């Protein structure tokens, strides 16, 4: 099980409020803050996501991050929140990856492909 991950960003002033909105849709809340990063914690399963500034002079490479959602409504809420500052990269809906896969994809303001996913969709 994942304990925490760090998303390195160029502009924490933009990215922390962005992820605060987006992660709230999946039950995360802002936790610890210090000059090296901001934590978004999920009390239900104990994992956390950190938004931390990249090292000076280093541009972070965009990556892909996916979080499990509990319902299609959660996927929709994640998608809508992520579009406020992000770019559509796949509307909420079933995918052909395996039976029951339902997800959305958005490029965050720094180009990371972020996803909310269900693995047991029966629609």
Residue 123 pLDDT: 83
Q: What is the pLDDT of residues 3-57, one digit of tens each?
A: 999 999 999 999 999 999 999 999 999 999 998 899 999 999 899 999 999 999 9
Which H helix or E strand runs over 107?
Answer: strand 102-107
Q: Domains along the chain?
A: 4-118 (3.10.180.10)
Is residue 30 within 8 Å of 65, Cβ to Cβ? no
Residue 26 pLDDT: 97
Supply the DSSP symbol for 44. T
* pTM (whole model) above 0.75: yes
């Amino acid at each position: 099980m994942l304990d925490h991950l760090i998303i390195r960003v160029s502009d924490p002033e933009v990215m922390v409020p962005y992820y605060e909105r987006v992660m709230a849709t999946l039950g995360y809340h802002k936790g610890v803050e210090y000059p090296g990063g901001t934590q978004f914690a999920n009390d239900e399963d104990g994992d956390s996501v950190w938004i931390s500034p990249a090292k000076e002079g280093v541009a972070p490479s965009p990556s892909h991050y996916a979080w499990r959602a509990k319902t299609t409504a959660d996927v929709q809420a994640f998608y809508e929140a992520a579009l406020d500052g992000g770019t559509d990269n796949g509307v909420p809906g079933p995918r052909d990856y395996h039976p029951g896969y339902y997800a959305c994809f958005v490029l965050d303001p720094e180009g990371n492909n972020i996803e909310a996913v269900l693995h047991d969709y029966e629609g």
